[in-house]
Amino acid sequence: MRANTAPTIDNVLDTWKSDSSEWPPVTRNFYERGGNTESALRVIFEHARDADEYAGDGTLIEMFADHIESLPKCRNDHEFGFVALHCGIGEL
């Protein structure tokens, strides 16, 4: 995200491969022991959806309202399935 690219499976893998010395050891261990980017991204998308104010229990907005309200609004802010598909993650 800091590189202004979507967290697609390919982009995450490319970043990890090109700069893996900068990643925490737990990330290296995750990949070396058979973890994959799709499963990691799936957990992130599912957690975000489950904490969303409309699709989930609203805990995200309760905890980070000031930060969230200061961000620009996007048409896809609450479309977790749509965004996940564009990042290479099948059905959420």
Between the alpha carbon of residue 68 and those of residues 16, 56, 61, 72, 74, the distances in Å are 28, 16, 7, 9, 12
Domain range annotation of the chain: 9-86
Q: What is the Cα–Cα distance from 78 to 58, expressed in whole angstroms? A: 12
Which conformational region is residue 34 in: left (phi greater than 0), alpha (psi within -120 to 50 degrees), or beta?
left
Instruction: Please indicate, yes or no, whether the overall pTM of this predicted structure exceeds 0.85.
Output: no
pLDDT in tens, the chain (92 residues): 667 888 888 888 887 777 666 677 888 888 889 999 899 899 999 999 999 999 999 999 999 999 989 989 888 889 999 989 988 998 88
Residue 92's nearest CA partner among 41, 39, 55, 42 is: 42
